[in-house]
Amino acid sequence: GAGVSQSPSNKVTEKGKDVELRCDPISGHTALYWYRQSLGQGLEFLIYFQGNSAPDKSGLPSDRFSAERTGGSVSTLTIQRTQQEDSAVYLCASSLGQGGQETQYFGPGTRLLVL
Amino acid sequence: AQSVTQPDIHITVSEGASLELRCNYSYGATPYLFWYVQSPGQGLQLLLKYFSGDTLVQGIKGFEAEFKRSQSSFNLRKPSVHWSDAAEYFCAVSSGGSYIPTFGRGTSLIVHP
């Protein structure tokens, strides 16, 4: 079946512009995660959605970052007034349920470059 | 708080040689442990995971990992590396009470022909 998809694959933007990154999780997966991967760094947790519960936004680095998940499926990560330090790969992952034992299935990521 | 350390940033091996990638974690109770692989331009893919039971876990692509509670380690091994194994490898830890895993910084594997 289809895996996690993300769009766009690459995004180049100018400092100060807003960007939207999209994630389509695996059908039926109730949990959805966003991570940021900077060069030479591990995965930095950003936000977590589980079903209809309020999202865990504890990893968002600033109020310029926001995310929503519509209908328990597609998610959009929005970065307002982008800065050069926002340049990174943004990864989305989904899992069948919640809980520490769940396997996460990752999308290929969106590579964001802020000029 | 849980944490994961991958002490090696880069590992270089010759094709056909054995491989061991190190992972140390910090967590009070029995953790859930994962190894993921990331090929260039791709997302992460699960290689194997440990929850309980047999401490030697078999995964895909010929990889295995051993959970050693006394050393707080979960090292990844492969007896004979193939050129296609060149990738970034991430160790991750979570627990029953935490649905957000903590990832290590990754180890980049370079395979020489």
Sign of the torsion formed by the C-alpha atoms of A93, B76, B15 and B79? negative
Interface of B with A (CB under 8 A): 9, 32, 34, 36, 41-46, 49, 51, 90, 94-101, 103-106
Q: Averaged over A61-82, what is the pLDDT?
A: 95
Report, as ranges of residue numbers, the positions in chain B whose pLDDT lies below 70.
28, 96
The pLDDT tens digits of the residues spanning A17-40 come to: 999 999 999 999 999 999 999 987
CA-nearest residue to A42 within chain B is B105
- Does the pLDDT at position A74 exceed 60? yes
Q: What is the pLDDT of residue B52?
A: 85
Q: What is the pLDDT of residue A97?
A: 83
Q: What is the pLDDT of residue A1?
A: 57
Q: Which of A6, A37, A49 to mutate to test the interface with B (most CBs of B within 10 A)?
A: A37
Q: What is the pLDDT of residue B28?
A: 66
Q: What is the pLDDT of residue A41?
A: 78
Residue with tokens 């993300």: A6
Q: What is the pLDDT of residue B29?
A: 74
Q: B44 contacts in A (CB within 8 Å)?
A: 43, 91, 93, 104, 106
